[in-house]
């Protein structure tokens, strides 16, 4: 995932690029807000762990940051996953978040478009994600961009 040169951008310009090291504090702010919305407690160790995954080539998790006027306002976490039944790979969109102040400005749409482009460039045959049934606004956007999969997701506790 490459970076974006912000020189000469028009006011209000929206850019999407891979997160870079000097965006740590901005990403932490956004990720902490996302975790709070998800009902998770403040946990600086968890936040730093995920940042270390994003920055390490040994981990599969990548991060795109969306910025308006050079100010990060949203992110997408993604990773390649294997699909044994088709002998292909897909791109999994783990998390998508846009700061409330930037919603309605095409940020989520731009992030998903970039994820789809990365999947095409990487030879993946699907981009897949989940969302909560109660996320009406997000689901309206997702319904306009993708087809709902005919699957039900289960979570089980490890034994």
DSSP structural state of residue 38: T
**Which letter, b or e, does each residue of 17-43 get, where b requires 16 or more Cβ atoms within 10 Å of its Cβ?**
bbbeeebeebbeebbbebbeeeeeeee
Residue 83 has pLDDT above 60, yes or no: yes
- Quote the pLDDT of residue 12: 79
- Say which range, 3-7, 31-35, 53-57, 65-69, has the weakest mean pLDDT: 3-7
Residue 9 has pLDDT above 50, yes or no: yes
What CATH number was assigned to the domain covering residues 14-145? 3.40.630.30
- The set of long-range contacts for 51-58, using a CB threshold of 8 Å and a minimum separation of 24, is 51/24, 51/27, 54/19, 54/27, 55/21
Residue 70 has pLDDT above 60, yes or no: yes
Residue 83 main-chain phi, psi, to 5 deg? -125, 85
Does residue 50 contact residue 31 with C-beta atoms inside 8 Å? yes
For residue 140, the SS3 value is helix
pTM: 0.90
Q: What is the mean pLDDT of the chain?
A: 93
């Amino acid at each position: 995932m490459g970076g974006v040169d912000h020189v000469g951008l028009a006011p209000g310009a929206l850019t999407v690029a891979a997160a870079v090291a000097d965006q740590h504090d901005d990403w932490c702010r956004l990720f902490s807000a996302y975790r709070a919305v998800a009902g998770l407690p403040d946990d600086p160790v968890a936040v730093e762990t995920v940042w270390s995954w994003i920055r390490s080539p040994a981990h599969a998790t990548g991060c795109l940051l969306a910025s308006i006027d050079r100010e990060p306002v949203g992110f997408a976490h993604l990773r390649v996953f294997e699909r044994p039944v088709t002998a292909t790979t897909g791109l999994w969109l783990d998390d998508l978040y846009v700061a409330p102040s930037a919603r309605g400005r095409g940020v989520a749409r731009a992030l998903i478009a970039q994820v789809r482009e990365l999947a095409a460039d990487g030879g993946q045959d699907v981009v897949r994600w989940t969302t909560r049934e109660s996320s009406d606004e997000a689901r309206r956007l997702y319904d306009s961009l993708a087809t709902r999969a005919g699957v039900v997701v289960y979570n089980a506790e490890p034994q």
